[in-house]
Structure 1
Amino acid sequence: MKVLDFSIPSSVEGWVAIDDRVMGGMSSSRLRFHPDGHAVFEGYVSTANGGGFASVRHPALRLGIQGTEGYRLHVRGDGKRFKLNLRMEDGLDGVNYQAGFLPPAGHWVEILLTISTFSPRYRGRLVPNAPSLRPEKVCQVGWMVADGQAGAFQLDIRAVTAVGQP
């Protein structure tokens, strides 16, 4: 079941940049529509002023039902490592479930992220006693680039499909 489809311009509405500027950094990002029919997560990561991450998030998206075993991403990267972030609570702050992936530069690929690959984090730190990720409770979705990968970045996204549903 396709849960995010970026083939039309309105698919990028409602996404908000949440970059390291919230803590004094200088990185910036955005999610925009490309006329070829996909979204583009792009920007610049700076490690100045203690920064080092850029992200966008949609505060009101569902991403699965009970029985979802993972997500298939249809993406094209630039050689950098990205993260898919999922949240089971409303609000700006809280536990964020992250799964990293490294799409090859310049080629469209499908990448499967199983539920078990998502780790609970709070402000970048592992939360060992957090509840397990429950896809039916996901209410916020985001994309991130971090981990000291300074410089320009671009991730093209066609779709995210929930897999393993009954």
Structure 2
Amino acid sequence: MSQVTLTLFQFSEQASLNTWRIINDGVMGGLSEGRITLSETGHGVFTGFVSLENNGGFTMAQHAFSPKDVTDYSSLEIRLKGDGKKYQIRVKSSSSQSYNYSHTINTTGDWQTISIPFSEFLPQFRGRRLDKPAYPGKTLGEVAILIGNKKPEEFRVEIDKISLK
């Protein structure tokens, strides 16, 4: 595998958030609300609240891009500062893929660089584990961060960079 790093998204004061999309549980009638903005220091800030009302319970910030060949890499690395809550990091081979590969991370409240081997991204659809192999690491077309901890809560996570190693 390559020792070279491929940056998928680097937040900065000049970064455009046009390729980022928020998906709230309103697609199923829920009332959760997330948003992504840039901080004064140029970090992406994913904030909002999760509501369990009306069968809700999640919000997600999603970055889609033209599928890239990732066979030279073996892990996804994300540098972030969370709020002590759990988040799912999700990947898809392409944005049109119907299911995702997910891995749950724990945040500490401090800046962290979390490296997730491709083999730890497990396939799921609507939160249910699928009987398929782990993420194959051939192409990548979408990365997302989701909060859905089955409780009503406010959240805040700052993101510096998402890359492949």
Query: Normalising by the residue count of structure 1, what TM-score does the alignment of the two structures yield?
Result: 0.87
SS at match of 1:12: coil
Give 2:99's aligned residue. Answer: 95
Amino acid corresponding to residue 102 of structure 1 in structure 2? N
In structure 2, what is the equivalent of residue 139 of structure 1? 141
> Whose strand fraction is larger, Structure 1's or Structure 2's?
2
Question: 1:51: how far off?
Answer: 0.9
State the 1:152 CA deviation.
Answer: 0.9
What is the distance in 2 between the residues matched to 1:111 and 1:43? 22
Supply the AA of the counterpart residue of 2:114.
I
Residue aligning to 1:77 = 82
Partner Cα separation in structure 1 for residue 120 and residue 162 of structure 2:
16
**Retained in 1: the 8 A contact 2:101–2:134?**
no
Aligned counterparts of 2:95 and 2:78: Cα–Cα separation in 1 = 24
Going from structure 1 to structure 2, the CA distance change for 1:111 and 1:41 (only over 3 Å counts) comes to: same
Report the Cα distance in structure 2 between the residues aligned to 1:64 and 1:5, rounded to whole angstroms: 19
Cα deviation, 1:94-125, whole Å, max 9, x if unaligned, reads: 111111111101x1111111112111011111
SS at match of 2:65: coil
Alignment partner for residue 127 of structure 1, among 113, 126, 130?
Answer: 130
Q: Which residue of 2 aligns with 1:54?
A: 59
Per mean C-alpha deviation after superposition, the further-off stretch among 63-72 and 11-20 is: 63-72
Q: Distance in 1 between matches of 2:66 and 2:151?
A: 27
SS at match of 1:143: strand
Residue identity (%): 26
Unpaired segments ≥5 residues, structure 1: none
What is the root-mean-square deviation of aligned Cα atoms in Å?
A: 1.8
Contact 2:95 2:142 survives alignment (8 Å): yes
* Distance verdict in 2 for CA 1:77–1:63, change over 3 Å: farther
* Greater helix content: 1
User: Structure 2, unaligned stretches of length 5 or more?
Assistant: none
Q: Distance in 2 between matches of 1:48 and 1:155?
A: 23
CA distance in 2, matches of 1:19, 1:64: 29
Task: Tell me how far apart the structure 2 counterparts of residues 6 and 64 of structure 1 sit (CA, whole Å).
Answer: 22
Match of 1:104 among 103, 108, 129: 108
Kindly tell me the number of residue pairs found equivalent between the two proteins.
Answer: 160
In structure 2, distance between residues paired with 1:101 and 1:45: 17
Counterpart for residue 153 of structure 1: 155
Output the TM-score relative to the length of structure 2: 0.88
